[in-house]
Amino acid sequence: MQDEKAVASLLAFTKDFDPDVRVIAGDLWDFRNLRKGASDDEKAASLSDDWKAGLEFASTFFAGGSDKTLMLGNHDTRLWDFSHSATGLLRDYASDGIKRVQGYVKKWNSKLLPYDSAKGICHIGHLKVVHGYFAGANATQQHARVYGNVIHGHTHDIAVCAIPSLEPKEARSIGCLCKRDMDYCNAKTAKLRWSHGWAYGFLFPNGEYVLNQARSINGQFHVCQDIKTY
């Protein structure tokens, strides 16, 4: 379900930009087979291909950098939920999958954050990163109200919302790297808001930051590599 062009562009950018801080903000895997009430089509999807694709992406993305975080999204966490509810061999295999994830996180020298509205928050200076806990057109505004200065995924769109506050409180939805034409959302208009993109920026020693958004424009990503202070 990865968009090949978007993923290849991000990885090429990462190689050039070589950021110290690297965060995967959730939904590295889909795990649609493990969803409660999964349809026959979802059950027929390849769990192996899903696992391998996510692993390959994370291994490349986390190849450099010094401060790395893998956040679990609502899709990733299906493996954890499944391992709690399943029995017998199914639970054993799911538990083994979790151990594999934890093993890779250790190998990548990364932190692992749960999909949890209180514990699943990554701090980068004064900026917070969450996978996303709201959906719909007002999701970014709701994230700003709860988390303040925050970037989030989950909604697959690119959006910015600042809310009235004495201190700056601005939330940004940073887009996605998945295909925009997945079967489950063929008839949903919400997908028309989806955009491919990622966030990047510069972090100052006092925790302040400059945040930039890379987005697909006619299938291309235009980014800046440097910063100048006046």
Partner 1 sequence: MCAKTSKPTDWAALLEDELKKEGKLPPGKGWLTQREIKAQWNIGYHKLYKMLRSLMAEGKVERFDGHTYTKGRVSTKTWYRVK
* Shortest CB 52 distance to partner 1, Å: 6
Tell the smallest beta-carbon distance from residue 111 to partner 1 (Å): 20
Rg of the chain in Å (alpha carbons): 18
CA atoms of 46 and 154, how far apart (whole Å): 22
**Among residues 96 and 208, whose Cβ is nearest to partner 1?**
96
- Beta strands 67-71 and 110-113, pairing class: parallel
**At closest approach, how far in Å is the CB of 70 from partner 1?**
16
- Facing residues of 199 across strands? 213
Checking 102-107 for CB contacts under 8 A at 24+ apart, the result is: 104/55, 104/58, 104/59, 105/70
Closest separation in Å from C-beta 103 to partner 1: 8
Nearer of residues 31 and 200 to partner 1, judged by Cβ: 31
Identify which of residues 9 and 110 has a Cβ nearer to partner 1 in the complex: 110
Residues 41-70 within binding reach of partner 1 (CB under 8 A): 43-44, 46-48, 50-52, 55
**Burial call 2-19: b when 16+ CB within 10 Å, e when fewer:** bbeebbebbeebbeeeeb
Interface pick for partner 1 out of 33, 74, 117, 141 (rule CB under 8 A)? 33
Give yes or no for a contact between 197 and 215, defined as CB atoms under 8 angstroms apart: yes
Nearer to partner 1, 63 or 217 (CB): 63
Helices (H), the chain: 4-17, 40-44, 47-61, 77-85, 88-107, 139-147
DSSP assignment letter at 67:
E
Shortest CB 156 distance to partner 1, Å: 24
* Residue (of 144, 162, 125, 170) closest to 20 by Cα position: 125
Nearer to partner 1, 45 or 163 (CB): 45
Q: What does the per-residue mask of binding to partner 1 show for 73-112, with x meaning CB under 8 A? A: ---------x--xxxxxxxxxxxxx-xx--xx--------
Binding mask 191-210 toward partner 1 (x if CB under 8 A, else -) reads --------------------
Number of residues that bind partner 1 (CB under 8 A): 31
| Contact set with partner 1 (CB under 8 A) | 33-34, 36-37, 43-44, 46-48, 50-52, 55, 82, 85-97, 99-100, 103-104
